[in-house]
Amino acid sequence: MTSTTADEIFREFKEHSISEFFRKNSQMLGYSGKVRSLTTVVHEYVSNSLDACEEAGVLPEIKVEVKMLSEDRYTVCVSDNGPGIPFKHVGKVYATVLAGTKFHRYVQQRGQQGIGATGCTLYSKITTGKPTHVKSSTGKESYQCDIDLDIKSNKPIIKMVSQIPDGGRGTTVCGEFGDVKYENSDHGVYEYIKRTALSNPHASITLIEPDGKESAFLRSSSELPRKPRAIKPHPLGIDVNDFIEYAHRSINRKLSAFLTETFSRVTPGKVAELKDIAKDIDFDSDPTKMSWADAEKVVKAFKQVKWMAPELDSMSVIGEAQIETTMKNILAPKFLGVVERKPKVFRGGVPFVVEAGIAYGGSSGKKVNGTRADGTAIEAEGNILRFANKVPLLFDASNCAITEAAKSIDWKRYGIAKFDEEPVSVLVNVSSVYVPYSGVGKQAIAKEEDIVEEIRLAVMDCGRILQRYLSGVRTLHLQESRYKTIIRYVSQLSRDLGDITGKDSKVIESELKSTIEKKYSKLFSGSGDQEQGAGDAGGVEDAVEGDGKE
């Protein structure tokens, strides 16, 4: 056997750009399967539009148009009324992986990684070879251009630049994509837009489908969500590598000043506590010269101090009232219950909030044509509507913390015999400055123990509200059955009593009916109409222990 030298083995050793990596692994960005790929494109563009509008303080007006060019080949155009994109930044927005305004900020936003829009440009290039067309107006400049991606260098190529008349602020992006398919399914573009409207009631979204059908999802709230504020990271959410990175970039000359200015909840008093714990650390030393061993000691000391809970200004939730309004408008349920839990933390110091809603009857659940074991028809089955930072999660359900939490609940306790055979929809939204997605495609939340447990508690809170409603409905049904049974014999009984007593049977019948109706008055009071319930559950702690438990 001929041996191979090290020089021969490493002859083909090459360095590749991040764009080249994702070109060969586009499935990691969500481009796997024709239907999913098209939905991913719409998701990335719409998420960017919503973030831009909200940052600018503008109620979003978004238009999505999907056109079929040929089999498995479509164009997607998304327009918004946001602040626009300065020309000097447009190339990096649409054609530089890991470039953007979000990745480095400790604030809640739909996008986190600086990959989404560039991923669309990349997918367009590798499936059609076509550039992405962008039109944008900022109020100071209005232009249009074609943007391509140099995959080897991970840099944009901007062509066909021209000025356009100022038509008001906003951006339109259009791309041509191959190996995609438009389908009206639970994973298609229409369902994604519908759920986006559900979780963003302040947005007005119009969808034009390939067949020309236009669907308008009008805003149900004219109030913008509270704008999240960028905050400092919490000491309990920092690992050793993070700490070293922050320290080596610090402009402070002393470790003590670095701690108070870089992290939230760190005061001079807390620094004094850290000094008592990490006695061999010089808190007057230069943080840019921090060693790994010293960083480990400081991070270990963080865990032994009692800290106030993280600041919550960094998060923006949908809101109970907004969830109620949109679920009512879209699902028209017979019953609706909503719960917003108090803020919690995971990984010791990363804040998050769970909201949950449960709808029963009406258009709730997923429509099916099935049969139960007893032969009765199943018209709808339980449906879990998953959201992260108000963004619908349509794929990878089995790997998601929301699915695991909802499926682990004993629904019989709440009046649901079988979740998969009832017209019930459960909505869960997880808001956080850092959502721990299980993949780059951002379609499932990692099964962090603290997050799974908090989702369970939120859904069970909703379940208790639903159980009270279902119990009342079943009581009314039982009373109705009894009422019908009794009223069936009133005429005959009245005649028999008239024969025995000599009284007018009509008078007896009237008196008997009046007595029976008083007994079953709830059947005639309108109690069976649609009911709604909203709850607020869970406690909030003023302090977080060093081990991350509340």
The Cα 180–Cα 346 span in angstroms is 37
pLDDT digits (tens, 9 = 90+) for 379-398: 788 899 999 988 899 888 98
Model pLDDT, residue 93: 87
Residue 499 — φ and ψ, nearest 5°? -65, -40
pLDDT for 516: 78
Inter-residue contact 458 to 339 (CB < 8 Å): yes
Domain range annotation of the chain? 18-214, 235-308, 320-463+533-544, 470-531
User: With 70 as the cut, is the pLDDT of residue 10 above it?
Assistant: no
Q: What percent of the chain has pLDDT over 90?
A: 42
Domain boundaries 320-463+533-544, CATH class: alpha beta
Rounded to 10 degrees, the C-alpha dihedral 444/68/218/459 comes to -20
Section 459-488 average pLDDT: 78
Identify the weakest region by mean pLDDT among 342-346, 358-362, 472-476, 518-522: 472-476
Sole residue written with tokens 């990984």: 347
CB 78 within 8 A of CB 228: no
Residue 412 DSSP class: G
Confidence band (pLDDT; 50, 70, 90) for 536?
Answer: very low
Least confident among 33-37, 116-120, 159-163, 215-219:
116-120
Amino acid occupying residue 333: P
Sheet of strand 61-70, all strands in order from the earlier edge strand to the far edge = 155-163, 142-150, 132-137, 170-178, 73-80, 61-70, 204-208, 214-217
Separation of alpha carbons 181 and 177, rounded Å: 10
- What per-residue confidence (pLDDT) applies to 101? 44
| Architecture of the domain spanning 18-214 | 2-Layer Sandwich (3.30)
Q: Which residue has the higher pLDDT, 442 or 211?
A: 211
Mean pLDDT rounded to a whole number for the chain: 83
462 pLDDT higher than 70: yes
The Cα angle at residue 440 between residues 438 and 443, in degrees rounded to 5: 60
Tell me which of 80-89, 154-163, 231-240, 379-388 is least confident: 231-240
The pLDDT of residue 522 is 67
Mean pLDDT is lowest, of 160-164, 342-346, 540-544, for: 540-544
Determine which of 96-110, 148-162, 326-340, 421-435 has the lowest per-residue pLDDT on average: 96-110
Candidate from 148-152, 291-295, 359-363, 386-390 with smallest mean pLDDT: 148-152
Least confident of 197-211, 217-231, 432-446, 513-527: 513-527
Tell me the CA distances in angstroms from 270 to 99, 225, 232, 263, 307, one per residue in order: 36, 34, 16, 11, 8
pLDDT, tens only, 49-72:
998 998 899 999 999 999 999 999
Mean pLDDT of 359-378: 80
Condensed to tens digits (0 to 9), the pLDDT of residues 94-108 reads: 877 654 444 444 555
CB-CB contact of 179 with 378 (8 Å): no
526 pLDDT more than 90? no
The domain 235-308: what is its CATH number?
Answer: 1.10.8.50
The confidence band for 145, taking pLDDT boundaries of 50, 70 and 90, is very high
Retrieve residue 165's tokens: 């008349």
What residues have CB less than 8 Å from 392, skipping those under 6 apart? 43, 191, 192, 195, 196, 198, 199, 385, 386
Which burial class, exposed, middle or buried, applies to 438 when counting CB atoms under 10 A from its CB (0-12, 13-18, 19+)?
Answer: middle
Per the DSSP assignment, residues forming a β-bridge with 134 are 145, 173
Closest CA to 41 of 26, 20, 59, 23: 26
CA gap 237, 345 in Å, rounded: 9
8 A C-beta contact, residue 64 and residue 83? no
For residue 26, the model assigns a pLDDT of 55
C-alpha to C-alpha distance for 56 and 67, rounded to whole angstroms = 30
Q: Is the pLDDT of residue 16 over 70?
A: no
